[in-house]
Amino acid sequence: MSAPRDCIACGLCQGRQNVVCPDGDPDSPVAFVGEAPGQKEDETGRPFQGRSGKVLDKLLEEEGVPRPSIYITNTVKCRPPGNRVPTKEEMAACLPHLEEELQGRRLIVALGRTAARDLLRREVRLSEELNRVIKVTIRGNEIDMVVTYHPAASFYNTRVKDALRETIRIARTYLEDRGSASSTGT
């Protein structure tokens, strides 16, 4: 269960137009977690609709991963004023919803340092941990996770795009695994 549409758990409720609920396949083994909604997301109530979303959609398509086959969410569900980074307190207020959303996933993709920090509860150096499968414990369950760049970091940097492509290829293997598991009835 994501944040309710009338959520008032933190101050972000004051400036929002919409609570931005997760998108994609609710049963997907793979969840992508972004930082926070921006203007377009706030207007539409859907994650990754603006410029970052366009980049993400294009890379997913180029790597043969249909966007509807993954689950997409954010650390916080309401837009921080001026698109600032959400505070620790705001992320903590939204964490129960995020943890609930991630139950049963096989792979979590943290898009950017803010999402990675929120989930791992420690500092993260993307350059050191980029695209390595690590374990994260969520409500007592170990789940594979990769940390990667936020799509916004790719606007002026093609190497970041290449890293994101690699991330999506990793995600694809988890989606393919599900395909073979269901076709053998396991």
Among 22, 24, 34, 80, binds ligand URA (CB under 6 A): 34
User: With CB under 6 A as the contact rule, which of the stretches 29-37, 101-109, 131-139, 158-166 interacts with ligand URA?
Assistant: 29-37
- 48 belongs to the binding site for ligand URA (CB under 6 A): yes
User: With CB under 6 A as the contact rule, which of the stretches 8-16, 45-53, 133-141, 169-177 interacts with ligand URA?
Assistant: 45-53
Among 3, 19, 21, 52, binds ligand URA (CB under 6 A): 52
Whether 41 and 61 have beta carbons less than 8 Å apart is answered as no
Whether 22 and 67 have beta carbons less than 8 Å apart is answered as no
- 38 belongs to the binding site for ligand URA (CB under 6 A): yes
Whether 157 and 12 have beta carbons less than 8 Å apart is answered as no
User: With CB under 6 A as the contact rule, which of the stretches 9-17, 47-55, 118-126, 177-185 interacts with ligand URA?
Assistant: 47-55
Count of CB atoms within 10 A of residue 54's CB? 13
When the beta carbons of 22 and 29 are compared against ligand URA, the nearer one is 22
When the beta carbons of 83 and 178 are compared against ligand URA, the nearer one is 83
Residues 6+ apart with CB under 8 A from 97: 1, 2, 3, 77
Token pair for 46: 């859907």
Whether 86 and 12 have beta carbons less than 8 Å apart is answered as yes
**What's the order of all strands across the beta sheet hosting 107-111?**
23-24, 71-74, 30-34, 107-111, 141-148, 134-138
User: With CB under 6 A as the contact rule, which of the stretches 33-41, 137-145, 159-167, 171-179 interacts with ligand URA?
Assistant: 33-41
Among 12, 21, 31, 36, binds ligand URA (CB under 6 A): 36
- 35 belongs to the binding site for ligand URA (CB under 6 A): yes
When the beta carbons of 84 and 176 are compared against ligand URA, the nearer one is 84
State which residue has the least CB distance to ligand URA: 34
Q: What does the binding site for ligand URA look like in residue numbers (CB under 6 A)?
A: 34-38, 41, 47-48, 50, 52-53, 74
